[in-house]
Amino acid sequence: MAQSKVTVCGAAITAFNRRTDGSSFRDWALAAFEDALTLSSLERRDIDALIVASESDFFSLQLNPASVLATDLGLVGSSTMRVEGGGASGQLAVHTAARFIQSGAYKHVAVVGVDPSASQLSGPTIKSLYSFSFDAWTDGLSGVSATALYALSFQAFMQRIPVSQQHLGLVTQQNRANATFNPRAHLGKIHSQQEIDESTLLATPYRRLHCSPLSDGAASLILSASSHSPSSRKSAPTIAGLGAASDSVHLGARSDAGDFAAKRLAMQRACREADIQPTQINIAEVYDAYAGAQLQAIDALGLSDNIPNDLQSGRFDIHGQCPINLSGGLMGQGAPVGATGVAQTATCALLLEGLYEEKLQPQSLPQFALADTHGGVCTTAAVTLLAGAAA
């Protein structure tokens, strides 16, 4: 039986920031879902399943969040599931929902990604928890930080690709500048290279301003079988290709500690399913937990043959040939972990339909968009390719 085509009927993102208003992840999830449902033109009774992305029960202090959110969202009776894959949780939830629709099991599936990654626990506690998202025996219990592991990987990458502190600074400047036009962003700022270079050194070559913040927030999607999508959503984009892959959790076990091999394989699988090449991508939201991770992603995704030149020439800028992280990415928009991949896909969908923030929306509607996320130091990778209505 042929796969059902999947349409992104609804997409919404709450503000990403540090919540101090007494609200909870349940409030943010409901707000994102309500906005996505409104755009979709569907009713609650139309939703067959709810897929929830949430990285850690420690953040929400809620086991089985999918059942709780199904009640809050008015989706009692729907199939519910929670998906977790570290930083890739949100993107893997999108994949799960899309595959359910492609199989013919469901017509309409809601995806909600949410995590209180900033306000629930202290910074040092979250730092410790993140170290356990690698190998708890060899990494977490040793006290090594996520920043140190990412820094080691990027040092290896620099042995192969001629990038420097200047290029890390360009990524920080670009993403945070884009975020100034995104009213939902956590850190929209204009940084000077000197300011970046003088920020606190965390793990060579990473300084504090090369890192994404801890954020609270939620994002939601309504995915539908194209044959059942509302007539009012004819301009809605579709899921063109999905790809996921994994790598050894230990950097030392990899043939190249600086190569995001799982991302490379995930992208190949997604492109094969979509029947397109990386050169056809018009916009991309890529995983930039650290500035260098964005450069490693660009390399693995095949978005550049000459990263230093493309960075300096403006290829990835807001008006470039392939804008990257128009939302501000994790570094600018923010990083509530479970919401990240869902927000990336929502951003791509809104950009393809011409519904994104006015100062960030390309003048000509893009044809193809890429949403890319990973968990660990690219131990679990997930890539989603979307196509605009005119593609």
* DSSP output for 119-165: TSS-HHHHHHHHHTTS-TTTTGGGT--HHHHHHHHHHHHHTTS---H
**Residue 94 belongs to what domain range?**
6-120+214-387
Q: Is 192 within a domain?
A: no
Q: How confident is the model at residue 1 (pLDDT cuts 50, 70, 90)?
A: very low
Q: Is 278 within a domain?
A: yes
Q: Is 328 within a domain?
A: yes
What is the model's pLDDT at position 61?
Answer: 87
Predicted TM-score (pTM) above 0.75: yes
Residue ranges of alpha helices (H) inside 159-209 are 165-179, 193-197
C-beta separation of 213 from 187 below 8 A: yes
What is the model's pLDDT at position 2?
Answer: 55
Distances in Å between the Cα of 339 and the Cα atoms of 32, 218, 277, 326 are 10, 5, 27, 17
Q: Is 331 within a domain?
A: yes
DSSP-assigned letter for residue 320: S
| Other Cβ atoms within 10 Å of 23 Cβ, number | 14
- Number of domains observed in the structure of the chain: 1
Q: Which residues are paired to 13 by β-bridges?
A: 219
Q: H or E element: which one contains 116?
A: strand 108-116
CATH number at residue 312: 3.40.47.10
Distance in angstroms between the alpha carbons of the first and the last residue of the chain: 24
Exposure string for 2-17, b = 16+ CB within 10 A, e = fewer:
eebbbbbbbbbbbbbb
Residue pLDDT, tens place only, 19-37: 999 999 999 999 999 999 9
Q: How confident is the model at residue 15 (pLDDT cuts 50, 70, 90)?
A: very high
Residue pLDDT, tens place only, 275-300: 999 999 999 999 999 999 999 999 99
Task: Give me the percent of the chain exceeding a pLDDT of 90.
Answer: 88
Burial of 43 (0-12, 13-18, 19+ CB in 10 A): exposed
